[in-house]
């Protein structure tokens, strides 16, 4: 069976700073017609920043969409100034944490919600961190606090639903697997 949906028309109904909203009319594999409401996103990068004492750096922030304070790994949108995802990662790590890293290792990339959005997020692990004297400025509308957690502390935060977003849950699982292979 052919699964592809052919786009018959596409209408952008909103251009935002973070996302665009698009309504597509599509022809289904069986010949029928349907509508798809889509969110177009430029992509993002998230960083698993590991300190010399084996703690991971999290940012604590309020997330309006879920009306909750969450602990997340540092992350940000790929923008026009970035040549590639690793440049976004370097920028976001410094902006959000005040650190730079000597090494970056790509862990994975995945679509966050492919049923309605095209956001592709890359997750890197950053090692050999150094504090920057004059780091890049945080976004004006971003209010965050740094939290340094051991794996056990992070897992406890996960169990209390303080860590509750997909990229950070992935980071915890990846961290757990890395710790298990070291034993």
- Does the residue 117 lie in any domain? no
- Does the residue 164 lie in any domain? yes
Residues 98 and 154 in one domain: yes
Section 16-30 average pLDDT: 95
Q: How confident is the model at residue 166 (pLDDT cuts 50, 70, 90)?
A: very high
Residues 32 and 69 in one domain: no
- Residue 138, pLDDT > 80, answer no
pLDDT at 80: 81
- Does the residue 119 lie in any domain? no
Section 128-134 average pLDDT: 93
pLDDT at 135: 78
Residue of 74 and 133 predicted with greater confidence? 74
- Residue 149, pLDDT > 80, answer yes
CATH code of the domain containing 84: 3.90.79.10
pLDDT in tens, 32-43: 999 999 999 999
pTM comes to: 0.91
Residues 86, 89, 95, 98, Cα dihedral to 10°? -100
Residues 91 and 161 in one domain: yes
Look at the chain and report how many structural domains it folds into. Answer: 2
Residue in this structure with the two tokens 């010949």, named with its chain if needed: 31
Catalytic residue among 67, 83, 140, 159: 140
Mean pLDDT, the chain, whole residue set: 94
pLDDT in tens, 42-89: 999 999 999 999 999 999 999 999 999 999 999 999 988 877 999 999
Question: Is 105 a catalytic site residue?
Answer: no
Section 87-96 average pLDDT: 94
- Residue 100, pLDDT > 80, answer yes
- Residue 173, pLDDT > 80, answer yes
- Does the residue 121 lie in any domain? no
pLDDT at 133: 87
Residues 100 and 143 in one domain: yes
Q: How confident is the model at residue 172 (pLDDT cuts 50, 70, 90)?
A: very high
Q: What is the 3-state secondary structure (H, E, C) of the chain?
A: CCCCCEEEEEEEEEECCCCEEEEEEEECCCCCEEEEEEEECCCEEEEEEECCCCCEEEEEEEECCCCEEEEECCEEECCCCCCCHHHHHHHHHHHHHCEEEEEEEEEEEEECCCCCECCEEEEEEEEEEEECCCCCCCCCCCCCEEEEECHHHHHHHHHCCCCCCHHHHHHHHHHHHHHHHHC
């Amino acid at each position: 069976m052919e699964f592809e949906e052919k786009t018959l028309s596409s209408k952008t109904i909103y251009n935002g700073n973070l996302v665009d909203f698009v309504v597509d009319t599509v022809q289904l594999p069986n010949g029928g017609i349907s509508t798809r409401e889509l969110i177009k996103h430029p992509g993002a990068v998230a960083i698993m920043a590991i300190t010399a004492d084996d703690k991971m750096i999290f940012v604590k922030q309020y997330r309006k969409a879920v009306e909750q304070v969450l602990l997340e790994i540092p992350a940000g949108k790929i923008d026009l100034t970035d040549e590639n995802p690793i440049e976004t990662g370097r920028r976001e790590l410094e902006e959000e944490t005040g650190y730079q890293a000597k090494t970056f290792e790509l862990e994975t990339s995945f679509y966050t919600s492919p049923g309605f959005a095209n956001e592709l997020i890359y997750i890197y692990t950053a090692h050999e961190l150094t504090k920057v004297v004059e780091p890049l400025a945080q976004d004006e509308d971003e209010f965050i606090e740094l939290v340094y957690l051991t794996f056990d502390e992070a897992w406890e935060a996960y169990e209390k639903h303080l860590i509750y977003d997909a990229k950070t849950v992935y980071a915890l699982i990846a961290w757990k697997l890395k710790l298990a292979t070291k034993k």
